[in-house]
Structure 1
């Protein structure tokens, strides 16, 4: 029983990418609950464990069934290429109480007994208050679980979008969807998500939002109903190295390039911006910019502009130098 998203001519022209900090918050909260989601995030789990213990995440966990509906209003599709957490939370707080109650009831029904818990009954009895309380809890979870790591998380998400945008330019939607996720397939103007649910949606000319996430792995999320724009949240490339501490691969590389340049080159498994590299390596922006210029002039890096950003990536020679 798959999920079908059907494209018309206008939808093909209105596919876009978006990044939502709130998606990473709800994904992080879910990862704390489900061990199967934790494989790539063990260093993060160890570092955030004390802060997580200070949060009562029960109301959010009640709304996150293993299989089933999570409230759309709690993590709405990004309405711009990169939303801020303040924008995301403002949208949650502005949710109509009637809409919120229906969304909450649907999610609670997918976890047996959840609607009869004290938290579940309170949410259904006063959805306006529940919306405010859930937004406040998400805000606390942001500061405790995601904000300290946001620069590196954002860098992975932006690098993924740069890669996908290039894939779209080179190979069209067929190439883009071919390796987005094993559960997705594209044929005859329909994007199909193969999972145990039944949901058909005509996108109606609004197009599709593609949102990479580091915490959704190994799953893919979709199923948004109007008034929300159709959205697919998929695992970003490069999350395997997300929590690794950058280091030079060998003493010889350090002697050749110097410690900082060797670390920058070795850590560029995925394209990244100057700002992301400065955060990752704890260096001044001006220093990173200087190192990148030297590495690029030496033929070890390439740079490419995507919108207002410049992404740096290793050349084959740069990759060869960092490979044992």
Structure 2
């Protein structure tokens, strides 16, 4: 394939693969906690870190990572200990982070508007071999942490008070998750861009929720969708000569639209059911009525209708 003849495209595709796996693996917990926009806040803070790196002639990856982790910890501290609500904390990071980044990059020697756009919206040509090694190490750390601790993160996201009563280190787990979000933002900034990384955390998860019947199934489906749209988006951006970040996000949105339409159509095709009134007969094995498998339950044919056990009553299908 022509696209694989170029070293920079090989690196971009590998980076896209890493991003497609890690972003949904972290984003599923943000969706669960209704913090879908936190990735945007982290992206803005990361821009300040990039500006510091360019101004001091330091590798932007490390300064962006340090700034983003600091921002993530600040958000978590204000959310749990401070009096400032989480939305106000996010707003401060949004505006302060991007303003600081723009000012610092403007003062950096040799910085150009093209450099700013590359970090904001992604650029497939800017991933160096050294970047790829760092991205791989960070991505592996994120995947091991989020998948290995899935039960713990899920428990805290479902009910913090219950998890705390059960003896789970809620604050520690929230801090770890915040750091994983920060790391994912830095891993994604070269290909997707700091302004669009949050979409890759959230949109594949939203699509997967249309199909997954369990939390584990949703995570796995979201990661598959993330890989498909990331790798496919980078390939499409090469041939269409479009920004990689925008192409990836548009691909993710297209998948979401298809999933939403398919889910709506499936709901319309399902036959409605109602509760059977005055149904005194108890259905079960040997009750004398034919039993028919129906999705994940059993219907019993009775008086020309199909009845299914639903809690303390029967639904008429």
**How high is the TM-score relative to the length of structure 1?**
0.25
**Larger helix proportion, structure 1 or 2?**
2
If you compute each CA radius of gyration, which structure gives the higher value, 1 or 2?
A: 2
More strand by share: 1
TM-score (normalizing by structure 2): 0.26
